[in-house]
Amino acid sequence: VRNHFAQPRLDARSWRLHIEGPGGQTVDLSYDDLLTLPAHTVAATLECAGNSRVFLVPTAAGAQWELGGVSTATWTGVPLSAVLEHAGIHATTGEVVLEGADNGPIRAESPPIAGSIHFARSLPMAKALQPEVLLAYRMNGAPLPAAHGFPLRAVVPGWYGVASVKWLTRLIVTDRPFQGYFQTLDYSYWERRDGLPSLRPITELQVKAEIARPAMLEVVPAGTLYRVHGAAWTGESVVSKVEISPDAGLSWAPARLLGAPLRNAWRLWEYAWPTPARAGRYTLMARATDAQGHVQPLQRDRDRRSYMINHVLPGPAHMTGCCWRNHHLGRHC
């Protein structure tokens, strides 16, 4: 769970979703109104855009995530497209601003931004109208927990978690690009165009595999077959391949993908590792590829600021370190 402001306490009976259309028309929906609309359930992996930040060299400001800023759940709610249609909004261009009830001051800026601001993000209409983009009120078959956005949150599959605004209280449909704090000064990256960096909001998940076992510092028997396993996910595609290197990137062998591919949800994988006969310290690496041909890069791209961290770990800058979680193992770490 990652919030930018204190978790708001909302009462479903008095709560309303306030919708503002491009012509200025407004519609308010109650919690019960939403329950009367046809419900859909989707599985989605949500990863924080700053997940794995602790591995950046040099250190970057922000939550120092290791590998845990990602999870998968099933979400039940009403497609955003159906809510807009119910509100009489038929726009196919422009964007939708999603605003949460959570708010507070921003202290990172100099001079500071005046007053409190609400957490808010926008979705271009092409993304907003995808049928799997939900306004969700249930998670894993139970009512949405308060920490996950009760009574209503967005779930934007295929995009970094920052897009899935919690504690939703307002939707604004507009033709004018929204440039809120959490998609400009924060949660943005540099896209190089004609050699010039241009600031873009963080959007689509980048293909990534994480090793769950062996864990950091784990000591495994020499000369045996060890089950390495983990998860891999990507953006608007499916993972097609995971490869494992037992020798810090010199050679790669395919892992076995488990279960069936499920769009927008991570895929579990395993790899039977014949551990070396000789005791010592060894570096395991994992690398995923998706069906669109995206492959995890070996090098960090600094234009991503402190976000979208999917380069294969440990990268060259980490090789002199020891015991990075899940990536080194040995008796003497």
Phi and psi, residue 208, nearest 5°: -160, 140
CB of 291 to its own copies, least distance (A): 27
**Candidate list 23, 38, 58, 141; residue touching its own copies; CB under 8 A:** 58
Stretch that binds its own copies, among 149-157, 197-205, 223-231, 242-250 (CB under 8 A): 197-205
Binding of its own copies by 13 (CB under 8 A): no
Distance separating alpha carbons of residues 77 and 153, to the nearest angstrom: 9
Is-contact 282 249, C-beta < 8 A?
A: no
Helix ranges (DSSP H) in the chain? 31-36, 80-86, 125-128
Residue with tokens 């510092």: 217
Amino acid (1-letter code) at residue 333: C
Q: Does 302 bind its own copies (CB under 8 A)?
A: yes
How many Å apart are CA 56 and CA 38, to the nearest integer? 44
Per CB under 8 A, the segment of 53-61, 160-168, 243-251, 325-333 that binds its own copies is 53-61
Q: Is 41 in the site for its own copies (CB under 8 A)?
A: no
Q: Which one among 17, 20, 46, 48 touches its own copies, defined by CB under 8 A?
A: 20
Q: Are 188 and 197 in contact (CB under 8 A)?
A: no
The span from the CA of 274 to the CA of 53, in Å, is: 31
Sole window of 191-199, 219-227, 244-252, 310-318 interacting with its own copies (rule: CB under 8 A): 191-199
Q: Which of 14, 93, 114, 278 is in the footprint of its own copies by CB under 8 A? A: 114
- To its own copies, the closest distance from the beta carbon of 168 in angstroms equals 14
CA distance 117 to 122: 15
**Residue ranges that bind its own copies, judged by CB under 8 A:** 20, 56, 58, 60-61, 97, 99, 109-114, 117-118, 120, 170, 172, 174, 176-181, 184-185, 188, 190, 193-200, 302-303, 305-306
